[in-house]
Amino acid sequence: MENNKYLREEIIRESGVNPKKCMKCGKCSATCPAYDEMEYHPHQFVSMVESGDIMPLLNSESLYKCLSCFACIERCPRGVEPAKLVEAVRLSAIRKQGENRMTANDVPALLDEEIPQQLLVSAFRKYSK
């Protein structure tokens, strides 16, 4: 529990998000293009971070399904910015030792003429230390 409280504060501080501003309208999840891919949806991230229930989020694949398209940030009527929370939880997961989601060695296998290089660059930025 103590650990959770520390995690919660860390994530709130790093993301700069105030989850208390959320009015639970669900517009973030309504707008999310990766909704069906995700186990925990943007509105759940906001609610679970607020209640300190962060371990399930840290272990969830949802962290890597978020497209970082920021549609939820754009549409949120209360200015809560859920994608920033997802980002902060993801950072907290991959910052642990040995927890890089993607390393330089993975890149050649992913190279494909169809994929824009920028996508790989941003994926590399998002998924590794």
Using CB under 8 A, list all residues that contact other proteins. 21, 23-32, 35-36, 41, 43, 71, 75-80
Q: Which residue lies nearer to other proteins by CB, 75 or 101?
A: 75
Dihedral sign (CA 19, 21, 25, 28): negative
User: Shortest gap between Cβ of 31 and other proteins (angstroms)?
Assistant: 3
Mind giving me the DSSP string for 51-67?
Answer: TT--HHHHT-THHHH--
Q: Which residue lies nearer to other proteins by CB, 71 or 83?
A: 71
- Report, in angstroms and rounded to the nearest whole number, the Rg of the chain calculated over CA atoms: 15
User: Shortest gap between Cβ of 54 and other proteins (angstroms)?
Assistant: 20
User: Shortest gap between Cβ of 40 and other proteins (angstroms)?
Assistant: 10
Q: Which residue lies nearer to other proteins by CB, 61 or 99?
A: 61
What angle is formed at CA 92 by the lines to CA 52 and CA 11, rounded to 5 degrees?
Answer: 45
